[in-house]
Chain A
Amino acid sequence: MTKTETISVADIIGGDLCISSEDGQKVFDKIVPILQTGKHVVISFEQISMLISLFLNAAIGQLYGKFTEDQIRSKLEVTGLAGDDMEILRRVVENAKRYYANRTEYDKAWLATEGDYEE
């Protein structure tokens, strides 16, 4: 039976503000080895009063560079997020899926762009 491990973001970062990429990295570094063992991970955002996309990019978005969508969908869960924070997470995940699926494609159309006026 797959075991479940719950990690508390507030405990990992030592506070209630998820506003730096460094703190997001700490959460990511905690999640990865657990997922690699095949366990189910519950990321608890209880006691968190503010979070921004920069943090979520580092904590969760990066996972899409290390694991498949199927792996993440089947093994990862979040709890303790309010409606507006879940919406931010949804945008972060959407962005991450797109980024890791098309890492170089986005920039090709712009590479030839030059200014048409002097600066």
Chain B
Amino acid sequence: MQKKIGTIKTDNNGFNAIAALAEGAYDFSFETLELDFCECSFFDANMAAPLYAVLTKYNLCEIKTTNLRNKIEKIFQKNGFLCELGFPRLPDTNQTTLPFRSFSLDSIQEFNIYLSEYMRERGIPSMTEGLRRAFLRSLLEIFQNAVEHSFSDYDIYVCGQFFPNLHRLDFTIADAGMGIRENVRRHLNNKMNSIPAIKWVLEEGHSTKKDKLGGLGLKLIKSFVMLNKGKVQIVSRYGFYEFSCSGETFSKLDHDFPGTCVNIEINTNDPYGYALQSELKSSDIF
């Protein structure tokens, strides 16, 4: 079976194109999937995470890649994505990647170690300590969301990329689980579609945890990216959501992304100390 992959950027079109690759996966077992990159002139490296999540839906003996441009092949070899498919690893001499990795649902400690290793003393810029902590906290929150809500039979897939000229760092976390829509449907016992389901989980106080307090991770991330002038995107089944200081948009994908993917993009130039001036005490909080 052959699937063509076009240019993939971290936007609605990029997620749509990756979701399109999942079509037919369930009818296709134990053969070879050929990914034809003839129409792909650029691939945002962090999008390896949702791509891999889609590929897990194929029961496959082999994945082949064809017509990969040299530049894209090198990116995939440096961030390790193609190594999953048998390609040799290339050293990341610019040290701008946070490599593609898969983590089992009980491995948040390993994920934290991965972040500690790749977020310091590399080409990833030396951010202020406040920004680094806020970013790491956001990634841990997203990871735990996937652990708690994906109900996936597969791992969680991550990948990041720093774009030095743009002062931008994207980190993407994807799962191939049931998706937000199904989670919310089961919780509310209705037939809510993907976009209202994403809206629902973003509402203050909402959570699909039964009889348990939950649901702050995404709200905290929104607060963070607003101050940072970054961006967060959530993709789940047919829903695409993007939030930045410019506002938020919801749109329907043409294709069904089989799980949930969150991308957080930060502005690495941000000093990020301005929000933390007030000295809160216990008595102010409780």
List residues 153-202 of chain B with CB under 8 A from any CB of chain A: 181, 188-194, 196, 200
Q: Is A76 on the interface with B (CB-CB < 8 A)?
A: yes
Q: Is B32 on the interface with A (CB-CB < 8 A)?
A: no
Q: Is B1 on the interface with A (CB-CB < 8 A)?
A: no
Q: How far is the CA of A102 from the CA of B204 in the complex (A)?
A: 12
In the complex, identify which listed stretch (B65-73, B258-266, B271-279) lies at the interface while the others stay far away.
Answer: B271-279
B205 in contact with A95 (CB, 8 Å): yes
A57 in contact with B109 (CB, 8 Å): no
Q: How far is the CA of A19 from the CA of B282 in the complex (A)?
A: 21
Q: How far is the CA of A12 from the CA of B286 in the complex (A)?
A: 22
Q: Is B148 on the interface with A (CB-CB < 8 A)?
A: yes
Which one of A90, A92, A99, A106 contacts B284 once the chains associate, using CB atoms below 8 Å? A90
Q: Is A72 on the interface with B (CB-CB < 8 A)?
A: yes
List residues 62-119 of chain A with CB under 8 A from any CB of chain B: 62, 64-65, 69, 72-73, 76-78, 82-84, 86-93, 95-96, 98-100, 102, 106-107, 110-117, 119
Least CB distance, B273 to chain A, in whole angstroms: 9
Q: How far is the CA of A50 from the CA of B215 in the complex (A)?
A: 19
A54 in contact with B276 (CB, 8 Å): no
Q: Which residue of A lies closest to B206 (CB)?
A: A106
Q: Is A8 on the interface with B (CB-CB < 8 A)?
A: no
Among B141, B216, B280: residue with most chain A CB under 10 A:
B216
A20 in contact with B144 (CB, 8 Å): yes
Number of chain A residues close to chain B: CB under 8 A: 49
Q: Which residue of A lies closest to B219 (CB)?
A: A91
A19 in contact with B140 (CB, 8 Å): yes
Q: Which residue of B lies closest to A62 (CB)?
A: B213
Which one of B130, B181, B214 contacts A57 once the chains associate, using CB atoms below 8 Å? B214
Q: How far is the CA of A64 from the CA of B108 in the complex (A)?
A: 27
Interface size grouping (class) on chain B: 35 or more
Q: How far is the CA of A73 from the CA of B284 in the complex (A)?
A: 9
A83 in contact with B112 (CB, 8 Å): no
Q: Is A7 on the interface with B (CB-CB < 8 A)?
A: no
Among A51, A52, A72: residue with most chain B CB under 10 A:
A52
Main secondary structure, interface of B, reads: helix
Among A54, A88, A92, A107: residue with most chain B CB under 10 A:
A54
Q: Which residue of A lies closest to B115 (CB)?
A: A50
A17 in contact with B213 (CB, 8 Å): no
Decide yes or no: A90 and B280 within 8 Å by CB, A20-B108, A57-B216, A106-B206 being known contacts. yes
List residues 86-114 of chain B with CB under 8 A from any CB of chain A: 108-109, 112
Q: Which residues does chain B contribute within 8 Å of A86, judged by CB atoms?
A: 280, 285
Q: Is B3 on the interface with A (CB-CB < 8 A)?
A: no
Decide yes or no: A90 and B285 within 8 Å by CB, A54-B148, A95-B213 being known contacts. yes
A53 in contact with B216 (CB, 8 Å): yes
Q: Is B136 on the interface with A (CB-CB < 8 A)?
A: yes
Which one of A54, A65, A106, A119 contacts B193 once the chains associate, using CB atoms below 8 Å? A119
B220 in contact with A96 (CB, 8 Å): no
Least CB distance, B212 to chain A, in whole angstroms: 8
Least CB distance, A24 to chain B, in whole angstroms: 10
Q: How far is the CA of A64 from the CA of B285 in the complex (A)?
A: 13
Q: Which residues does chain B contribute within 8 Å of A69, judged by CB atoms?
A: 286
A17 in contact with B109 (CB, 8 Å): yes
B276 in contact with A21 (CB, 8 Å): no
Least CB distance, A105 to chain B, in whole angstroms: 9
B215 in contact with A95 (CB, 8 Å): yes
* 5 A-B contacts (beta carbon < 8 Å): A21-B148, A52-B217, A54-B148, A64-B213, A86-B280
Chain B residues engaging chain A, CB cutoff 8 angstroms: 108-109, 112, 130, 133-134, 136-137, 140-141, 144, 148, 181, 188-194, 196, 200, 203-206, 213-217, 219-220, 237-238, 252, 256, 275-280, 282-286
